């Protein structure tokens, strides 16, 4: 499972494995619930969500061709 940390930007997937909802969220808290299960609270969401429903926001890559200009 990918590492997540507080203040990180993420995407939320309402259905685990499905497409994300089109928004970016910031993680405000992470809690370990009974060993394996982790819940995450996101800025802009009222309730916690399972950590499995998150994915990292891709950072745009700077292409080498843009550096040549």
Q: What b/e sequence results for 23-41 when a residue is b if at least 16 CB atoms lie within 10 Å of its CB, and e otherwise?
A: eebebeeeeeeeeeebebb
The predicted pLDDT at position 52 comes to 94
The predicted pLDDT at position 58 comes to 82
**Do residues 10 and 22 lie in contact, with contact meaning Cβ atoms separated by under 8 Å?**
no
**Do residues 11 and 23 lie in contact, with contact meaning Cβ atoms separated by under 8 Å?**
yes
pLDDT in tens, 6-32: 999 999 999 999 999 999 999 999 999
The predicted pLDDT at position 34 comes to 81
E-strand ranges in the chain read: 9-12, 24-33, 37-42, 49-50, 54-56
Tokens of 32: 């370990």
DSSP 8-class letter at 65? H
pTM: 0.78
pLDDT in tens, 28-48: 999 998 878 899 999 999 999
């Amino acid at each position: 499972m990918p590492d997540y940390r507080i203040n990180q930007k993420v995407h939320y997937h309402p259905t685990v494995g499905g497409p994300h909802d089109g928004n970016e969220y910031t993680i405000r808290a992470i809690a370990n619930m009974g060993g394996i299960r982790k819940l995450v609270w996101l800025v802009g969401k009222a309730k916690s969500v399972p950590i499995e429903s998150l994915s990292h926001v891709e950072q745009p890559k700077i292409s080498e061709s843009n550096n040549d200009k």
